[in-house]
Amino acid sequence: MAKRIQFRAHGGPEVLEYVDYQPAEPGPKDVRVANKAIGLNFIDTYYRSGLYPPPSLPSGVGSEGAGVVEAVGKDVTRFKVGDRVAYGSGPLGAYSEVHTLPEANLVRLPDSISFEQAAGVMLKGLTVQYLLRQTYELKGGETILFHAAAGGVGSLACQWAKALGVKLIGTVSSPEKAALAKANGAWATIDYSHENVAQRVLELTDGKKVPVVYDGVGKDTWLTSLDSAAPRGLVVSFGNASGAVDGVNLGILAGKGSLYVTRPTLGTYANNAENLQRMADELFGMISSGKLHVDISQHYPLAEAAKAHTELSARRTTGSVVLLP
């Protein structure tokens, strides 16, 4: 038996339960991992609330963690018992002492990266990798807009953009978060609580706007993102922190400059074991070289996952948050 977090019904953080459960035995191509650290992400709240329905109820929570392989299926070839591994996707249930998942969802974790670093960076870091290196491949010299620049994904994006020679304009909600984004490498910040974001983007870019907007906020920033993109620019809507974007009128894209819009997911880019490991290797290389610092701002015992969700939803966290089994 082991401990895990689960929910039997959708709702707020109070629906999360800390329970005993029987970990699944590995199937032929599965690996069972003894978690050493677990990542907390906004998408976890989407499954808990029902925005993203889980396959069934009761359901486990979470899809990111790092640990040591403790058992492998008979057809597993890439890993063996004792290997250090990390994962940022797969079946729900990472909020647990032990997690079983497909071999293809795991990456090798180099000794230079700690379990906590990996758990705090896999989903967010791989997201930044595909956003900046694949969805819109930044070459250096561009000026871009990135919403929620002091959050977990945003903090990494600020650093990665600076390393690429890109001027990142980051939106924030307070002077403290503005300072954090600047410390992480943002070229400029806009406090959306009292500034007009699109107008400030226009001013900061001498009227040109930006070729790409990265928007993980969703509903509340959708029109602002469209207004900040240059003609034939790209709006990358990759998250729903304020709710899903719906009722999109394609005609508005024409009126605002023949804009492009995409709604990417990590799974589409890390769609096989080789692509996933390649993306992770680039991420780990950025960390090992010192170009990317993983800020683990808060630690919570696994049993206090509900408290961690409350703090995350209230925007009282910065950087990465990890749960410790």
Residue 206: Cβ-neighbour burial (10 angstroms; 0-12, 13-18, 19+)? exposed
What structural domains does the chain harbor? 2-121+294-324 (3.90.180.10), 140-263 (3.40.50.720)
Dihedral, CA of residue 127, residue 133, residue 139 and residue 143, to nearest 10:
-20
Is residue 235 scored above 90 in pLDDT? Answer: yes
> What is the average pLDDT score of the chain?
95
Q: Rounded to two decimals, what is the model's pTM?
A: 0.89
- The encoded tokens of residue 310 equal 């409350």
Average pLDDT over residues 179-199: 97
pLDDT on residue 239: 85
Give the separation between CA 287 and CA 290, rounded to whole angstroms: 5
Give the separation between CA 137 and CA 280, rounded to whole angstroms: 17
For the stretch 265-322, pLDDT in tens is: 999 999 999 999 999 999 999 999 999 999 887 999 999 999 999 998 887 877 789 9
The phi and psi torsions of 9 (rounded to 5 degrees) equal: -145, 155
Residue whose entry in the numeric block shows the structure tokens 């009292």: 194
Is residue 47 scored above 90 in pLDDT? Answer: yes
For the stretch 246-278, pLDDT in tens is: 888 899 999 999 999 999 999 999 999 999 999
β-strand pairing of 320-324 with 296-301: parallel
- The encoded tokens of residue 81 equal 């018992």
